[in-house]
Structure formats: structure tokens, C-alpha cells
Amino acid sequence: MTDNKILEKAKIWLDGNYDEETKAAIRKMMAEDEKELTESFYRDLEFGTGGLRGIMGVGSNRMNKYTVGAATQGLANYLKKCFGEKSLKVAIAHDSRLNSRHFAEITAAVLSANGIHCYLFENLRPTPELSFAVRFLNCNAGIVVTASHNPKEYNGYKVYWEDGGQLVPPHDKNIIAEVNRISSVDEIKWEKIDENIEIIGENVDKIYLEKILSLSLHPEAVKRHKDMPIVYTPLHGTGITLVPRALKQLGFENVIVCAEQAEPDGNFPTVASPNPEEKSAMELALKLADKVNAGLVLATDPDADRMGIAVRGTDGKLQLFTGNMTASLLVYYILSEWSEKESLTDKFIVKTIVTTEMISDIAKDYGVLCEDVLTGFKYIAEQIRKYEGKKEFLVGGEESYGTLVGDFVRDKDAVSACCMIAELAAVLADSGKSLYELLLELYKKYGVYKTELVSVTKKGQDGAKEIADMMVRFRENPPKELGGSKVVKIKDIQKQIITDCQTGATEALPLPKSNVLQFFTADGDKITVRPSGTEPKIKFYFEVKAPLKNIGSYQETLNTLTDKVKRISSYLLTSNF
């Protein structure tokens, strides 16, 4: 029996100013599918700190024209409060997902009806280009319709502020409040004003690509290795619009696109999940690379902000790199090259707190400031804005396959990342080395870092309490030893304090409050614990470290660290300390 509150909400839609197709779908659910009716109406799809994300369909808890319209109206109302009624401008882009163009056009229509000038991309474009366009076109905000690498049933709506970065406080919470004030579909202005919508495309592409080309540090190396085979897959996403073009513009003439995954398609027909973090999504590209004897494979997710790579190991087989590995290589390349040209004292880099500490070690080695921020690339963008005019941002990264070189984009950028990692491969080829061999050299210098994410799902109300109780236990009775190594430092980001476990001394932690704990050991290990903000999960980010005696002992060292992660994971999940 369907809950009366759900029936009442569905009836509001049946009686309201919703289109007949929507009403017909609701009637069908009421007659034939109570479960789907419940899922579609048991709550309102939340406008979170970044925007909307949800399954597409009819109802208040689904991504559809009405939930997108309400979000856009709330954003329009907030923009007027912040900037006044006149000369407001917003850039809009979308990815290859089902209904993405439809939602982008609805967004433009509602904004235009509110007297806001919209720059709407002519067709799909990478998310980082939208971030670039916000600043290039002097917009007050930007919107990209995407659900990143979620399954095909999902779509989303991300909002960017005038600096080209995703929303951060106070704007995130303030916009949420405005969206929540939209109580009726009748409050949404739907009537499009054509003169307020300007179609953009090549004019922005050209400048964006020129900016990427300006990042090049060794164009002569690319020229020498222009025929180096590079396999690229966009995983049916937006990367196809600019990644091959950017690589060619840089000078690479042998970019081989994975044909089966080249066509933008929101059904993602060749993959279970369009996520370059997953080996299964890379399989077709890996097979192609073996066929053409390519030493570098590049992949981007549907909105082309995340990049995955594979390179040949010393055994000749293709090896997938983690986001931490790739980010470390790029940071090393940028810092080593810049240090030869000029002082790094007025430069800085940024990483998130769950990203490998190897980046901090590299930065320390080169005497450059490395800022740690909360998880989420929006906090990296926030640091760029903080130091604007004071220090120059060089590179930033996060463990979840996102990197950014230069500051003309304010979000992770797989287009420029593909170019820079390919250029590094060409530079290394001059001395007969590979990206894999460079990584081993860095491990020899800084130690081997083994990273792993373990997510534990606890569903329902009882699960939520269990997760909360686990965080209380970790705070009140923290582990004294992990993996045979003493815990020497604890960062409690909720309490904003750092505790020295040997002396008991504490110091302030200059990060915004967040329910996160980090344990650091004498061996240089880092274990981070945090509940997910969007799913019924508690996440454990493991990073364990050991010196590498020689390159030949890498696999043995890695195996030892893998066992250590298993032991620490089991201990944290089963012990009371």
C-alpha cells in the first residue's frame, strides 16, 4: 500500500501545471508500479553543495525538466540577490548523457526568461572548458549538465561561480536555500527569450586550446617523437570533441582513437560503467594498444574532467596507473622543469588531504608550497582564488583521477592532463625511458607509496547509527599502533586540531570543519576515515609507505605494503583498540 504522503505529492503533480506526458506516466505508476511511484516521490531531489544528481524520470526525486527548472529558478533568484538585476551572464555546457542537451536548453530557457544572458555551447563540451568559459566570458556563474561517470540512468547539474570553480561556502548553502524556497512549478519562469541566448562553440574552443598549448614545456621533444603511438578513448563522452584535437595541436600525429568508444552515446554501450578508474572500461583501448604497439593509453570520463592512463611496464605489459601515480608524475614534471627556469618561492601547488603524500615530499624537495585541502576539487579552485595576485598556481591533483595544470581552468581538466602526460612521455623517450620507469625512480627517491580505498556500506537507519558510532569510537579511543607502526599524529578535521601522540600537544588545523579523521604513523603511513556525504558508506583511505632498496625489489616491496593494508583494514574494522 502506497504511503498517503507519497500519493498526495503525486496528486499535486497530477493537478498542477505539468505536461500531459508527465501526468500519464504518474497515472501508470499509480496503477501498475507502486514501488517506482514511491521511489519517484518519497522525497525531493536534493540540490546539494554542488548541484543536482539523480536518476532520470518523472517525479520530485528524479532528474527531469521540472526539477532542473526549479534548480535554475532558485539559482537565478540568488544571482540577482548577489549581483543585481542587470547584465547577468551564465555559461552553459553539457555532456553526452541521455537528455543532457534537453536539460541544458531548459536551463537556458529559464535563465533567459529571468532576464539573464546565456552562453549556450552549440553541442557537447568537456566540463573544464565550461569552467574556462565562465572566466573568459566574464560570467557570474556557469552550469554543466553531467553526472560525471555515474551509470547511464543518472544525470546531474553542476553549478560554477564567477571564478570558474564549483560552489564553495557561503554560496553553496545560500543557493540551496533559494532552490528550497521554490514551492510550486508556477514560480518557475519557463518562457524562453531568444535574444538572451547566445550560442557559442569554436570561438571559445580556439582560445581554450591555445591556453593548453601554452602549458607545453618541451615542444621540441614532442616534435622529435611526433609519431609516438598514443591510444585514446573518450568512453562515449565529450572528450572526443577536444582531446584528439589538443594532442594534434601539441604536435602528436599518431593518436589512435578507440573506434568502438569514439561515438558520444549516453547509453555507454561498451562499458558497464564509463569510469576510467575501472579496468573493465579500459579493456578495448588496452587491446587496441597491444595491436598497434602503443606505450601510452589515455582515457577520459564522460565529461572529460578525469583522466586514466596505462603505460608499459618493464615486462612490456600495459600497467594501469592510479590517480595518485599520475598526479605524482605530473607534479614532478612541472616542478622539475619550472625549477630550472626560475625560483619557485612565489609558486604553489595544491592537493586534497586523501591524495598521496608523495606529492608533498616532491614539493618539499623543490622548496615549493604545497597546500592541503578537503576532498573535492572545488577546494583546490578556492586556493587558487585565495592566492590570486600573490602566488602563482602551477599544478594540483586529487586521488580520484583529477589533475589541473595552470590556472585558466578552475576544475580538474583531463584535456590538458592528456596533453601534459603525453608530452612527459615524449621527453622521457629522449633518454630511452618510460613513464613507468620514471615512477620507479621516484619511488627509489621518495619511497614506495601504496594507496587503496576501502568503502564499507551500512544501509538504513541502523547503518547510519553504526557509522556514527564508529567515528565516535575512533575519536574517543584512537588506535595507538597501525600495521606494526606507532601512531604519532592525529588530525581531527571536525575538531580542527592536530594532536602529537607522543607529547599530547595540540595545534590548530586550518581547514574547514568536516567529519574526517587522519592517523599518521612513524613509518610514514596515512590512514583517513570519513563517512560519505552522499551514500550510506564509511570510507577508509589507506596510504602505506616503505623505502625501495633497489628497482628490482619493487614488486616484493609492493606485495609487503599490500599485506600491510589488509592487516590495518581488518584491525580498524574489527578491533576496539
Catalytic residues: 148
- The residues near 202 (Cβ < 8 Å, ≥ 6 apart) are none
- The residues near 565 (Cβ < 8 Å, ≥ 6 apart) are 450, 452, 483, 542, 544
Q: Would strands 481-482 and 485-492 be described as parallel, antiparallel, or unpaired?
A: antiparallel
Give the separation between CA 482 and CA 354, rounded to whole angstroms: 17
Rg from Cα positions in the chain: 24
Nearest alpha carbon to residue 145 among 168, 161, 125: 125
At 480, the amino acid letter reads K
Half-sphere exposure of 11 (CA within 13 A, CB side): 7
Cell (9 digits) for 458: 551500512
Give yes or no for a contact between 423 and 221, defined as CB atoms under 8 angstroms apart: yes
- The residues near 278 (Cβ < 8 Å, ≥ 6 apart) are 272
Buried/exposed 198-220: b ≥16 CB within 10 Å, e otherwise:
eebeeebbeebbebbeebbbeee
Nearest alpha carbon to residue 286 among 308, 267, 315: 308
Helix (H) or strand (E) holding 362: helix 358-366
- The residues near 501 (Cβ < 8 Å, ≥ 6 apart) are 480, 486, 487, 488, 489, 490
Nearest alpha carbon to residue 132 among 423, 390, 406: 406
Nearest alpha carbon to residue 527 among 473, 487, 470: 487
Angle in degrees, CA 271, 277, 280, rounded to 5: 35
Helix (H) or strand (E) holding 231: strand 230-233
DSSP category for residue 196: G
My answer on whether omega of the bond before 531 falls inside 30° of 0, hence cis, is no
The CB density around residue 253, as the number of other CB atoms within 10 Å, is 12
Give the separation between CA 229 and CA 542, rounded to whole angstroms: 35
Residue 144 sits at φ, ψ, to 5 deg, of -125, 130
Query: Position of cell 553504526?
Result: 466
Give the separation between CA 322 and CA 137, rounded to whole angstroms: 35
